Chains A and B, each alone.
Chain A
Amino acid sequence: MRGPEPTIFELSAPGRAGMDLPELDVPALEVSDLVPEGMVRQAAPELPQVAEGDIVRHYTRLSNLNHGVDTGFYPLGSCTMKYNPKVNEDMARLPGFASSHPYQPEELSQGSLELMYELQRYLAEITGMDRITLQPAAGAHGEMTGILIVKAYHAHRGDKKRTKVIVPDSAHGTNPATAALCGFETVQVKSNERGGVDLEALKAAANEETAALMLTNPNTLGLFDENIKEIADIIHAAGGLVYYDGANANAIMGIARPGDMGFDVVHLNLHKTFSTPHGGGGPGSGPVGVKEFLAPYLPRPTVEKNYAGEFFLEFDKPHSIGKVRSFYGNFGVAVKAYTYIRAIGGEGLKEVSENAVLNANYLMAVLREHYYLPFDRYCKHEFIITPKNFKEQRVHTLDIAKRLLDFGYHPPTIYFPLIVEEAMMIEPTESESKETLDQFAQALIEIAGEIKENPQQVMDAPHTTVVSRLDEAAAARKPNVRWKKTS
């Protein structure tokens, strides 16, 4: 039976250890001769004292308290929780990758450099961009990198008035936060009734102060913006650049490319679109692609190939924005994404997007009679439903999400995007079978029935999880963020 698990500190007992260290085999010097007195630690840090078996059992039990893609369906909108192929894990752990030092000579790192070079080429092809950097460690990190490239570009041209970044009201929170982090003011434009960018509002917002527009397409409503070319043209005419947030790239691989839509900078999420695991919040990887005219501003080093076919790192980039992370990014994640792309190939990528979109539209078709559908048109890889039809019962999206836990599902993304009240954003991905989709739909339909007949059952959910709903207010009012021994 599952029960709450104590912390590792509560399993500690003096005198235990979980690993041996070798004995000192060189002549011992007096520590006091080596370290100044004022810098010597007086009391050992209170780390747990546990045997190896205890540690293994502890974390194995903790793993049992988690829900992962391997445990069950995970239709978390905008997160692309697809199956994570096991071969990826093996490949990233090969000693030639996992045990290679970032400063070992380039001639002894040719395999890694070739892998990075080829992955960059594939990502450039998928996005229709000219150059890619693998340095950013996550999507938001990619956004920062991309917007700093925009900033460096305008600054280099002496175009100092461009202090504003435009984002639609449906944008991820990271977009405005990124703009602020890069020193820009955010201008928000509203969406039209089809869920796309309102062109008139965009025209009114775009001017000589516009540094860039940040856009997700398909957007966070799961809808492809039919005016995408016009949107890019409006921004370009105003002298700004157009940034593509690739969170939803799983919908369009081999079908349409941001580069062809007029975007100048894109980021991708290897941990969404390219099957690398999310790891409970990381490590991810957020490569950034640019058109040729922005290549001088890419972070350094870039991976290049010389005439002899040898790969090397190019540090000599005088206009580069510098570095956003040490070394060359989350290389181990790049190995997994490379492995995935080689496993499924160019045609396979297109099949992925077609099936991701097919799965989403199918689920939407099954659920539309039971929940409110704010945008009734073909969706791409995800769609939004809400419990607007249950206003009378006072059941909220949060309640439905919690009730889904009892059925063994991870709930959809909830309360996002902000422009749809009580949104539930469902992204099934291509790696789920029709049977899984049918079962999930059945659970949501059953919950719809409960809402009508026994709403309390839903409002009190979850009933079967190891803990019930948490007091989040108490956690935030009097934060307890570390374990302490109680005497």
Chain B
Amino acid sequence: MNFIPNSTDQRQEMLQRIGAKSVGELFSDVPENVTLQRPLDIPAGLPEQQLVRHVRGLAGRNADLDAYLSFLGAGAYEHYIPSFVNQLLLRSEFYTAYTPYQPEISQGTLTAIYEFQTMVCELTGMDVANASMYDGASALAEAGLMACDSTRRNQVIVSQTIHPEHREVIRTYLYGRNVEILEIPYANGVTDLTTLEKLISSKTAAVLVQNPNFFGSIEDGASLARLAHAAGALFVVSVNPVSLGLLKAPGDYGADIVVGEGQPFGNPVSFGGPYLGFMACKEKYMRRMPGRIVGSTLDRNGKRAFVLTLQAREQHIRREKATSNICSNEALCAMAFTMHLSALGKEGIGKLSRLNLQKAHYAAERIAALPGFQLAFPVPYFNEFVIKTSLEPAKVNAELLKDRILGGLDLGRFFPELQNHMLFCVTETKSKSDIDRLVSRLEGLR
């Protein structure tokens, strides 16, 4: 199936109108020495029936969270998404549209993005938000660059309690622009304020932290903000939006730019993507913000309508002087985020946050009560926590797998000093009996 409607006769007719003898003639400008002289070495096309069978076969070789009980988080979170979200995302007027450059026939996408921006502002306590970024990691990296542009400084300080993959993305982005990076170690599972105080200077453009951080721990936002601002640096916070039904909005403890991974709302874990990053900031940094922004305005008849705005920041106008090279967002993922949050609403978001908090604490305390297991860090946490084990995590997880349980993430993979440490995540999707099943499996391990 090649999805081409024209018949052979029609193609002949078209060639006649063009005045060409063959389709080959249309390619006469392709020099002989670059023309491919053989067919592509790609299997022949499959009828849909066989295609579906083949792809299902591949999917069937994966574990999925419907069949396995998972305690994995670490940047990809399992939450219950209401059925209607997926059905609305399948409205093909949404998903087969391009970027809303023609506002008169794109009010659907534009209105939804305006709603998305509003929700991001509400959650984060910021004045303005953009239409979304590729993911939480790239949003954080772009926030670092934005801070360098805003302060005209060329160094960022990054806490080691930020997701290791996000830190790696920051390093890649900042390598491009030759920005210096200083990393701050952690103490007791949170950013070490003493080292931060020593390293920060008038060269520092921004302090980047994650809260709750990679270990699930809740950072001391206000103290971090104070240290950043005392040096004239911006304070950039990456948040898990699910926590914001319960935890203070970063804007209320001094953040200048807030970013985060938006996947937990509306988007399945999907082997790591597609996700969406969100980005919000104080009004005075708005014109330095990368990415699309939707604004409200009026049409010629005085009707309210929405449109892409502040486009002069962007690459198609400013070219090499643009705030970023980004020229898309993750619109459909942002829509999923918006729909899920609409369903939760003002009351539901708080309840969801509290369910996550309570269940994680129940699980942590029960696990830590087992011999050979203990909570690694004596600090407050949200829906993830670190357990120190006397057994190798690989062994623990292999045992759990026998009962179709995906255990915690082996932290030794990212932190050499955290061998025998595991990061567990417990969201509202885990019932008490799920948690008890995990605990009873761990209990028998030697």
Contacts and interface: CB of A to CB of B under 8 A. Distances in A.
Direct contact of A and B (CB under 8 A): yes
B272 A329 contact: yes
B299 A144 contact: no
Interface residues of A, number: 201
A151 B305 CA distance: 44
B137 to A, nearest CB: 4
B378 interface: no
Contact of B342 (A48, A63, A95): A48
Interface in B218-236: 218, 220-222
Interface string B1-18: 111111000110111011
B128 A45 contact: no
B354 to A, nearest CB: 7
A50 interface: yes
A465 to B, nearest CB: 4
B346 interface: yes
Q: Among B2, B43, B173, B342, which residue has the most Cβ atoms of chain A within 10 A?
A: B342
B202 interface: no
A456 to B, nearest CB: 14
Given A56-B84, A84-B95, A181-B176, A109 B361 contact: no
Contact of A410 (B51, B105, B109): B105
Given A68-B97, A101-B269, A255-B27, 17 more contacts: A16-B345, A17-B343, A36-B220, A44-B245, A65-B111, A66-B106, A83-B3, A84-B95, A95-B67, A100-B270, A103-B74, A111-B61, A137-B274, A148-B176, A327-B272, A335-B55, A471-B299
Contact of A186 (B145, B171, B261, B320): B320
A99 B268 contact: yes
Nearest to A227: B31
A138 B62 contact: no
A391 interface: no
Given A177-B315, A229-B31, A433-B5, A41 B94 contact: no
14 contacts: A21-B355, A28-B358, A48-B346, A65-B108, A68-B93, A81-B98, A96-B56, A103-B74, A174-B325, A181-B176, A181-B324, A279-B333, A282-B331, A433-B5
A471 to B, nearest CB: 5
B63 A109 contact: yes
B134 to A, nearest CB: 4
Interface in B167-219: 168-169, 171-173, 175-178, 218
Interface string A91-113: 11111111111111100111110
Contacts of A132: none
B86 interface: yes
B26 A323 contact: no
Interface in B343-396: 343-352, 354-355, 357-359, 361-362, 380
Given A52-B84, A65-B111, A481 B293 contact: yes
B112 interface: yes
Nearest to A327: B272
B270 A45 contact: no
A479 B343 contact: no
Contact of A346 (B35, B41, B220, B300): B41
Interface in B57-107: 57-68, 70, 72, 74-76, 78, 82, 84, 86-88, 90-100, 102-107
A140 interface: yes
A140 B325 contact: yes
Given A325-B134, A349-B42, A434-B13, A99 B65 contact: yes
B269 A102 contact: yes
Given A229-B33, A346-B42, A322 B347 contact: no
A193 interface: no
Interface stretch (A201-209, A235-243, A359-367, A446-454): A359-367
A49 B4 contact: no
B428 A31 contact: no
Interface in A268-298: 275, 277-285
B272 A102 contact: yes
Contacts of B421: none
A376 interface: no
A60 B94 CA distance: 10
A39 B221 contact: yes
B106 A67 contact: yes
A308 interface: no
B122 A46 contact: yes
B297 A114 contact: no
A25 B434 CA distance: 11
A333 B274 contact: yes
A330 B269 CA distance: 11
Contact of A479 (B168, B295, B298): B295
B327 A138 contact: yes
A179 B320 contact: yes
A386 interface: no
B56 to A, nearest CB: 6
B157 interface: no
B143 interface: no
Interface in A378-418: 378, 401-402, 405, 410-411, 416
